[in-house]
Amino acid sequence: MAAAGSIITQVQQGGPAPINTALGNADENITLDLRGTRFTLSRDELLTLPEFVLLSLFPNGLLPDGHMNNFHDGDVYAVDYDPQSLQYMLEFFRQVAQTIPQPESDSGAIATDTMPIEPMAGNARDMLQDRAGIIVLREDLDFYAIPPRKDIEHSEMIEIKRATSKALQRQDGIFSGLRKSEEPGTTEQHLIEMLTAGGFDHSDSWGHRAAEPNKAVICSIALARLRTDIRGESASSNAVGMAQKLLLFWRKPARRCWWEGVELDNVEGVEGKLKVWIRRVWTLEMVCAALPEISLPHARLYDEGMISDCARIEQATNAALLYGMKLPEEVRD
């Protein structure tokens, strides 16, 4: 049994899940209503989204019956998902796509202080020939505020929870929850090194961080373009290897889950410190952005097999809240 608080990361085993190609025309659009905000997305934009986001948007497949021909132009698909989070992702993907060189352009000679990262063999390498890798990191933070006194009223406790949510949202550093141990060689430090070698910086904040309505949950997301070269002092085989390992998460969402107890200062309505239990769930995935005229070669729309795989990930997460699973061997090496 692993020690409490250890890393839990699960990568789907084997190849990609079976493909549902019902949405086969790149010109086809689907309109989503996310809590009152509408998005009209093309097939290619939809397929750029991470697997775990698509599962949130379409938990039962693309449509309830899984067939695109029952979906007509003008129909709107209502989804309970944060519209600002989706907008942040779409804008980031579009900006990255605009910076991808044309296939015929000559990249020229590589600088002498640059070590290019050789992508993985197979599909990941082929995908990055004319595309850009994007690291997607999401945090789902559930918090449980301990009543500051025994005789507190229910209505007052609700206000304290809201104040707690605001206080936690202000703690927006991506790696602040992982810096409990500064000792080298720990699993937490290994994860930080891998992400910072891949594209994040130690001081980065979440790109979008917001509370879920009527829940004691804060959802955060951060995106970074995968570094395809590492310059200067960082150009060591270790740093290059760390960044390269992120390609193992291409189309394979991985999770880390842990509990921690904290004491918050300056919570509105509370004298002194407020004790709070926090459960963090991190989801890490690699996706690819392409030039607008280049269609993604696979349709990652879900069938029962994909839904079953992700359900097993959810079960593994829930079963390992207090004792986790280690990183896969290919990521640890």
Whether 297 has a pLDDT exceeding 90, the answer reads no
Please tell me the distance from the alpha carbon of residue 7 to that of residue 321, in angstroms, as a whole number. 10
Helix (H, G, I), strand (E, B) or coil at 253: coil
Cα 79 versus chain centre, distance: 19
In single-letter form, the type of residue at position 127 comes to: M
Whether 64 has a pLDDT exceeding 60, the answer reads no
Of 228-232, 238-242, 296-300, which range is least confident? 296-300
Q: What is the pLDDT of residues 180-211, one digit of tens each?
A: 656 666 777 888 888 998 899 999 999 999 99
CB 248 within 8 A of CB 120: yes
Of 4-8, 249-253, 280-284, which range is least confident? 4-8
Confidence band of 312 (pLDDT split at 50, 70, 90): very low
Highest mean pLDDT among 112-121, 157-166, 186-195, 238-247: 157-166
Q: What is the pLDDT of residue 133?
A: 85
Confidence band of 6 (pLDDT split at 50, 70, 90): very low
* pTM of the predicted protein model: 0.73
- Dihedral of CA 58/63/69/73: which sign? negative
Please tell me the distance from the alpha carbon of residue 216 to that of residue 260, in angstroms, as a whole number. 15
